[in-house]
Chains A and B, each alone.
Chain A
């Protein structure tokens, strides 16, 4: 896929992997709409992309909120045109320190599902019709090995990621003939704030950077038809 000129939405773009993806995509010439709840951090990422010659626009939104999908899709459509790629990167672990399922409240479980599963579902639904009508589109779901490995304490997050991966499989099956593809990516462990909060005992210097993971995702997109 030629990234230059491609309209891309990245959620969770204010830090970590999302910010690294934004900078990499910006350098590659993509037209970016970046989404996060954190306006200040998001504006800083937009500025970094622009300083490097890229195009980026900030949309402050909580992807877990029901009204966000139409807002993000519409704003993106106005600013960069119909999205050709959406990268669902926003995610939440839930309260830190991580708690076993038996100690997880309804609210925390629901919040993890809202951000990690329902948000991507709603935003994808708002975008795939237009992608299908154009005969092409790519939806990237950022997952985790917690989707398949039952790490104690990662219950709500792991369940949401497992469901997210299956969501991608079903979308893929339903839209197989339309030119819309779903890619599920496990970026592996990275030195991010989320990782430091979840695994405080880990030595960050031993972990790959988000930029290294972002480079692999960009390569995946470039190699896609």
Chain B
């Protein structure tokens, strides 16, 4: 039996909205639609979203006289950027088939468009593709130039380039995400309004979702890299109140799980408001302390997202989920269908 998921280009996914509901209480898989989310949640539940806007993180340029593409993978507290560098070519070639960049070392200069010159400050021991770079421009000039010359990270399965507005969630705020926190993409304002009317509380945090693919198997294996987040005080209060009232905390996307569970782990189980950095890797056997449900995309079994999903799926349901999603024609990737795992 074929277990592969179908790809879902953004161009055809506007009406998608299919939802595979994994009902942990009944141990069943239910085919429904994202529109049904208010009925699947209960008054007193809390839905937590990641409101990071998606960066124009892809910058074509040159280094050592050769063409490169830089993908920004997160800003460090000292103002440098973590960056994954590809060699010649563009997004039409799958990342794993892209050639490596020229060997780059601290001190090398990268020309990434008018006003966007950067210098390599460090190179990772894990992969020569992973660098830390510092842009020369002031913050205002850097951000203006980035939004003028940068493009969102593209996907080889898309027939045409994605514009920046197509890779934003409906509630996107600060541009921290290297790629779209795509689990929230189907949450229209209309749907969020119906959730509120149902008595489901909404809360937000900001988590710098990283790159999904680097073209280097070793580096891919190290994903997700440490990512920064910020927890508003109102969200910390909402999580505490929901748990006190025996409601369920439902994370929209794996980044929200990482931020909440990572923050709780680093503070002895207590959530505290403010910024933080998490290197938490969540997978099979991980027992979430705060999050009791997950709204996410449809994930292939060999993906890091599936690894995180499996923290919520009992082993018996893992294979069933994979078979059901493939047989049911569910579509994967950033613009695909959705999964709700909830007890």
B204 contacts A133, C-beta separation under 8 Å: yes
Shortest B226–chain A CB gap in Å is 21
Closest to B75 in A: A78
Per the CB 8 Å criterion, the residue count for chain A at the interface is 29
- Residues 61-86 of A at the B interface (beta carbon under 8 Å): 66-67, 69-71, 73-75, 77-79, 81-82
A77 contacts B173, C-beta separation under 8 Å: yes
Contacts of A178 in B (CB 8 A): 189, 193
Closest to B167 in A: A70
A77 contacts B189, C-beta separation under 8 Å: no
Docked Cα-Cα span, A219 to B175, in Å, equals: 31
Known: A70-B163, A70-B165, A177-B193. A77 touches B174 (CB 8 A): yes
Q: Does B12 contact A (CB under 8 A)?
A: no
Q: Does B49 contact A (CB under 8 A)?
A: yes
Chain A 46-63 interface 0/1 with B at a Cβ cutoff of 8 Å (1 = within): 000000000001111000
Q: Does B192 contact A (CB under 8 A)?
A: yes
Q: Does A41 contact B (CB under 8 A)?
A: no
Q: Does B202 contact A (CB under 8 A)?
A: yes
Known: A70-B164, A77-B175. A132 touches B192 (CB 8 A): yes
B172 contacts A129, C-beta separation under 8 Å: yes
Contacts of A130 in B (CB 8 A): 51, 171-173
Contacts of A73 in B (CB 8 A): 53, 172
Contacts of B49 in A (CB 8 A): 133
- Which range contains the number of B residues in contact with the other chain? 20 to 34
| CB-based A-B contact count at 8 angstroms | 78
Shortest B329–chain A CB gap in Å is 30
Closest to B52 in A: A77
Chain B 161-198 interface 0/1 with A at a Cβ cutoff of 8 Å (1 = within): 00111001111111100000000000001001100100
B171 contacts A133, C-beta separation under 8 Å: yes
A57 contacts B163, C-beta separation under 8 Å: no
Closest to A56 in B: B140
Docked Cα-Cα span, A77 to B168, in Å, equals: 13
Determine chain B's interface SS by DSSP, over half rule. mixed
Closest to B174 in A: A77
A74 contacts B164, C-beta separation under 8 Å: yes
Q: Does A220 contact B (CB under 8 A)?
A: no
Known: A69-B165, A74-B164. A132 touches B173 (CB 8 A): no
Shortest B229–chain A CB gap in Å is 16
A133 contacts B165, C-beta separation under 8 Å: no
B171 contacts A74, C-beta separation under 8 Å: no
Q: Does B144 contact A (CB under 8 A)?
A: yes
A74 contacts B55, C-beta separation under 8 Å: yes
- Picked from A70, A78, A132, the residue with its CB within 8 Å of the CB of B143 is A78
Contacts of B168 in A (CB 8 A): 70, 126
Q: Does A87 contact B (CB under 8 A)?
A: no
Interface centre among B49, B53, B55, B193 (most CB of A within 10 A): B53
Docked Cα-Cα span, A166 to B40, in Å, equals: 36
Q: Does B139 contact A (CB under 8 A)?
A: yes
Contacts of A57 in B (CB 8 A): 140
A58 contacts B175, C-beta separation under 8 Å: no
Closest to A130 in B: B173
19 contacts between A and B (CB under 8 A): A58-B140, A58-B144, A59-B144, A70-B165, A71-B147, A71-B164, A73-B172, A75-B147, A78-B175, A81-B174, A82-B173, A126-B165, A126-B172, A129-B171, A129-B172, A132-B192, A133-B49, A133-B171, A177-B193
Known A-B contacts: A82-B174, A132-B192. Give 7 more (CB < 8 A). A58-B144, A70-B168, A71-B147, A74-B164, A78-B175, A129-B170, A133-B49
The 10 lowest CB-CB distance pairs between A and B, nearest first, are A129-B171, A82-B173, A70-B164, A130-B173, A129-B170, A70-B165, A133-B171, A71-B147, A77-B174, A74-B175
A residues in contact (CB < 8 Å) with B: 57-60, 66-67, 69-71, 73-75, 77-79, 81-82, 122, 126, 128-130, 132-134, 174-175, 177-178
